[in-house]
Amino acid sequence: MAMAMKVEIIHKETIKPSSPTPPDLKTLKLSLLDQFTPATYTPIILFYPAGAERSQNLKTSLSETLTLWYPLAGRLKDNAYIKCEDQGAKYVEARIKCPLSDILNKPDVEVLKQFLPASIESPEAATGNFLLVQATFFDCGGLAIGVCISHKMADAATLNTFVRSWAATANSSSELVRPVFMGASIFPPIDLSIPMTPVELMQRKCITKRFVFSASKLAALRAKVASTSVPKPSRVEAVSGLIWKGVMTAVRSNFGCFRPSVWSISVNLRKRLVPALPENYSGNCVGFIGPKNIEDNELELQELVGRIRKEMEEFGENYVKKIQEDGALLAICDFSKEFGELAKSNHTDFYVCSSWCKFDIYGADFGWGRPIWVSSTSTEVRNVAILMDTRDGDGIEAWLTLSEEDMALLESNQELLEFAALNPSVPLS
């Protein structure tokens, strides 16, 4: 399947802001959180059943959107600031000789990578374009829009805000979201010289698989993991606990012994700071919780969910408080000291879970309706989980990247498969 479905690049060009960036906005300082973020791309792919021959509208609206999102047309300098000289974003036009339904039928992660204009780990994220877009047109009239934004400039919330802002511009919608670039004033940067190369941590031979938790299965899972300490577990807590347990079981089988582990989950700081930051705050604004299992015993699912909830509650009391009282630098240093060595350790498994749930990316209507599917893709970094809403907003798609040995056992884990389907076809309606 992967070999038969080939995306053909038709055209490449640079899209610049429709209006020049004013002189007083030519330099945008990175925030401290931006400085510490690795130089990779944050990707997303949106699939639409209609949208053929809309390339000119996409380009025109992208140019208009870049007027508001002018840093995305700039270039990174010394991990300190963005030089906003309207250098532009890369736009790629492509075609694929198959109907959209072929892609949605048990999606192949290797095929999906062809719908992105750059690899996630591309060094261009540090040295070149902040924003790359690829519009791929299908024989049936369908369209895939692949977006890559440098993680130095955008977390998942910012990527979502940008895509919806671009869609609103294309659709002449009154729901246009204007970004706010205020990171340096909230998290003041420091003189920090870190080589901006793609992340190498945990970069080993690995494989990515997609697990889908339907709304009904997820409701059953939440009921199963509920306890007196966590009577109403969230969707993310329930899925995280189940996957974490399944991965630990796989690792124990492969190594023949228990291995300590950390299940780190990203947390959006925007609403947790006092006063809260606006939702259209653009840039990196993420902290992490790190529930651990260091005891040599097999914990029950409810206990793992309880540890996740406990870390989340303490996050607000400790990490956020430290940011506001002692500054972001000290909070980051304390987190790095506690978990940095664990992440590099050969004796502790470190997993990174990023939740993109509740962003309503399915609301991105460019003028031809909502996307039929929004997807992630594979990465070269192992022990990563990305959680995304299903189209109905009630289920979760989990994109997991693990070692081939661990994945081979996880994908046959019966407790996981009781609630999750392994790479089902995407419903066409």
**In tens digits, what is the pLDDT along the chain, a chain of 429 residues?**
444 689 999 999 999 999 999 999 999 999 999 998 989 999 999 999 987 678 899 999 999 999 999 999 999 999 999 999 999 999 999 999 999 999 999 999 999 999 999 988 888 888 899 999 999 999 889 999 999 999 999 999 999 999 999 999 999 988 888 999 999 999 999 886 654 444 444 456 899 999 999 999 999 999 999 999 999 999 999 999 999 999 999 999 999 999 999 999 999 999 998 899 999 999 999 988 999 998 877 789 999 999 999 999 988 777 777 777 777 777 777 766 666 666 666 788 999 999 999 998 999 999 999 999 999 998 888 999 999 999 999 999 999 999 999 999 999 999 999 999 999 999 987
Told to judge if 296 belongs to the known catalytic residues of this protein, a careful annotator would answer: no
Catalytic residue among 86, 108, 334, 365: 365
Residue showing tokens 């290797």: 110
Cis bond upstream, residue 23 (ω within 30): no
Among 244, 209, 251, 258, which residue's Cα sits nearest to residue 406?
251
Interaxial angle between packed helices 215-225 and 301-314, expressed in degrees from 0 to 180 and rounded to the nearest 10: 90
- For 268-278, b/e burial (b = at least 16 CB within 10 A) is bbeebeeeebe
Helical segments of 139-276, H only:
156-170, 183-186, 215-225, 235-255
Catalytic residue among 34, 151, 155, 389: 151
**What are the structure tokens assigned to 52, written together?**
């053929």
Global confidence as pTM = 0.93
Helix (H, G, I), strand (E, B) or coil at 18: coil
Told to judge if 394 belongs to the known catalytic residues of this protein, a careful annotator would answer: no
Helix (H, G, I), strand (E, B) or coil at 11: strand
